[in-house]
Amino acid sequence: IKKIGIITSGGDAPGMNAAVRAVTRTATSNGLEVIGFYKGYAGILDKEYTELTYASVGGIMEKGGTILRTARVPGFKDPNIRAEAARNLKELGIDALIVIGGEGSLTGAKLLYEEHGIPIVGIPASIDNDIPDTDMAIGVDTCLNTAVDSMQKLKDTASSHERAFIVEVMGRGSGYIALMSGIAVGAEGIIIPELPIDYDQLTDKIWEQRKRGKINCIIVVAEGAASAYTVARHFENKIGYETRITILGHIQRGGSPTAFDRILASRMGYEAVKFLLNGEAGVMVALNRSKLIAVPIDKVLSEKKELDYELVKLANTLS
Ligand code: F6P
């Protein structure tokens, strides 16, 4: 291998830049050239790229978003489009590709590898933490800290006005962000797609707490379970609080990555290049009980990440 390509793809995640830096510096230290394609698979198709050097990735680790920019490319589901991407990579002399992104991006990577034999290593990056086989993906920790910080602020104003806040968080089909941020702020209610919603039980619980003198209430709802408006309608005039709605939205995807995300991304980027140099391909770098391992991408994509139900019990016990 002499020249590798790198993309950040799908929804951005804080820490992607730290991964780009780590890949570039590990690769160039090993005598490889690095080409960064812009806007994920779109940059490969449009041949929009830049050479990344040891120096050019300086000062990017602390930046939110991705300097390579990103995109969702629905066209990549078409085998002809993937063939075009493979042709472009060959024309540019790219011997291997590192894909930083979530499940959709890893699916594209798996297909490029299987159909065209391009050695690919995936690096999991998605705030949703819904990628199987890895304990954490890049961006999750920063997202959680942002969500917790925002909810803590909401708690201040909630207490002043004796109000309930229904806070909608991201996560697509996963309740991970809702559950973990809910635990971290001591939310009175956490609604996630993995479990049926029992509005009656939740209403009784919150009303009981209100009668005992509680002056604020935070209910976190994962976007994949229900909208904050739907949840609010269920509680209307039933929980003893005036209610307000906050949808955290894309604020959860921005910001300077936390130390945890910078370190995770640095480790994963470094390891991804080492895997390629050792001849591994078609694998994703995964965090497994604090060690980094290589897991075949097709195994990752054949599974669904399970929520830790013990944490649900914990949340219910503590709130
Ligand atoms: O996968 C990350 C994520 O932020 C999800 O939580 C959310 O559902 C989705 O991306 C939003 O996508 P977009 O930025 O394309 O609106």
Tens digit of each residue's pLDDT (9 = 90 or more) over 214-259: 999 999 999 999 999 999 999 989 999 999 999 999 999 999 999 9
253 Cβ inside 6 Å of ligand 1? yes
Q: Could you confirm whether 128 is annotated as catalytic? A: yes
171, 177 in Cβ contact below 8 A?
A: yes
User: Which pLDDT score, from 0 to 100, does residue 187 have?
Assistant: 98
The residue among 252, 235, 229 whose CA lies nearest residue 188 is 235
ipTM reported for the complex, 2 dp: 0.98
Quote the DSSP letter at residue 47: T
Going by CA atoms, what residue is nearest to atom 7 of ligand 1? 172
This prediction's pTM: 0.98
User: Which pLDDT score, from 0 to 100, does residue 251 have?
Assistant: 98
Going by CA atoms, what residue is nearest to atom 15 of ligand 1? 11
154, 148 in Cβ contact below 8 A?
A: no
Share of the chain above pLDDT 90, in %: 99
Quote the DSSP letter at residue 258: P
The confidence band for 19, taking pLDDT boundaries of 50, 70 and 90, is: very high
User: Which pLDDT score, from 0 to 100, does residue 213 have?
Assistant: 97
| 3-class state of residue 229 by DSSP | helix
Q: Which value, in Å, is the radius of gyration of the alpha carbons in the chain? A: 21
User: Which pLDDT score, from 0 to 100, does residue 50 have?
Assistant: 98
95 CA → ligand 1 middle, Å: 31
Residues shown for the chain = 319
User: Which pLDDT score, from 0 to 100, does residue 192 have?
Assistant: 98
CA distances from 222 to 34, 39, 42, 170 (A): 38, 28, 30, 6
